[in-house]
Amino acid sequence: MATMVCTAGAMSKLRVGWIGTGLMGMPMCMHLVRAGYPVTVFNRTRAKTQPLCDEGAVSVASPLEVAQAADVVFTMLTNASDVRQVMLGPGGVFEGLRPGAITVDSTSSEPSLARELFQIGISKGIHCVDAPVSGGDVGAQEGSLAFMAGGNADTIKVLEPLFKCMGKVTHVGPAGAGQICKLANQITVAANLTGLSEGLIYAEKAGLNPNLFLKAVSGGAAGSKVMDIFGAKIVQRDFLPGGFAENMVKDLGTAIKEAQNMGGCFPGLALTQQLFLSLVAHGDGRLGGQAVCLSLQRLNNITSSDTELKMQ
């Protein structure tokens, strides 16, 4: 098989491989299928690939088969161990890729793994990019995700037509920088969710209508994207996940580990993770991140029934 040249011209007829069709991966991949790219897809539960197959994608039985059929392979998985297994394990992506191919990991993973894959890729003539995302399931469905890409600038430039199908990409630095940016993003989002929840609970506990609180402050300095997306959901007790709370625990844990490695002190990060850990410990890890308000309600002796009555 001829070696693929990593240029914009060579990408015009590229074949896309996609691994991971969960809450985020499914709509992201669907944009590429509907844009006319030939897509080969793998998911551990093969039935979950059926909507993509209905639109023209081809489902295969292993990551190896995806790699053999693709010029660019995207992974959108749960954690770093999943990425390692899919990429480096027996029957994995690296066994099937030819020199000149590209991998794009959009999993919220670890900077160290991104750098490791990049170095292994160099030894095999493969271009590896780490490009996690922000925007949740709504951003994935609407094609408005923010990609934070680490890796070679020329490779990321070549991938821009693909990224544009799903959102907007920003090249933030060398290999691993995308994952670092995502961790910083998660720290910021988690802190905003916690602050928003505290503000709502404080206002309500003091006798203020939470909806009026949101209306009054959303146009001022307290207003934020997090408030726009999650404020009404918290009031309405809508905890359907755009991203699972248990995944936030994982990401914040990775951020804490990285902070220790760099000798940094981030007390807000540690406290925020504890609130999300409490949420998971109460069996609510599969709720959305906005459910962190439940941890704060418990600390303030606000029961679910009380909250439901006040917020209806």
What gap in Å lies between CA 309 and CA 300, rounded to an integer? 16
What gap in Å lies between CA 19 and CA 3, rounded to an integer? 22
The amino acid present at 60, given as its one-letter code, is: V
| Token pair recorded at residue 163 | 């990224």
Full DSSP string of 116-162: HHHHHHHHHT-EEEE--EESHHHHHHHT-EEEEEES-HHHHHHHHHH
What gap in Å lies between CA 4 and CA 60, rounded to an integer? 22
The answer to whether 90 and 122 are in contact (CB under 8 A) is: no
Q: Enumerate long-range contacts of 216-221, CB under 8 Å, 24 or more apart.
A: none
* Contact partners, residue 122, CB within 8 Å, separation at least 6: none
Instruction: Compute the 3-state secondary structure of the chain and give helix, strand, coil in percent, each to the nearest 5.
Output: 55, 10, 30
What gap in Å lies between CA 123 and CA 160, rounded to an integer? 24
The answer to whether 180 and 211 are in contact (CB under 8 A) is: no
β-bridge mates for residue 128, sequence order: 103
Active site residues: 182
The answer to whether 109 and 134 are in contact (CB under 8 A) is: no
| Token pair recorded at residue 212 | 């009026």
Phi, psi at 288, each rounded to 5°: -70, 165
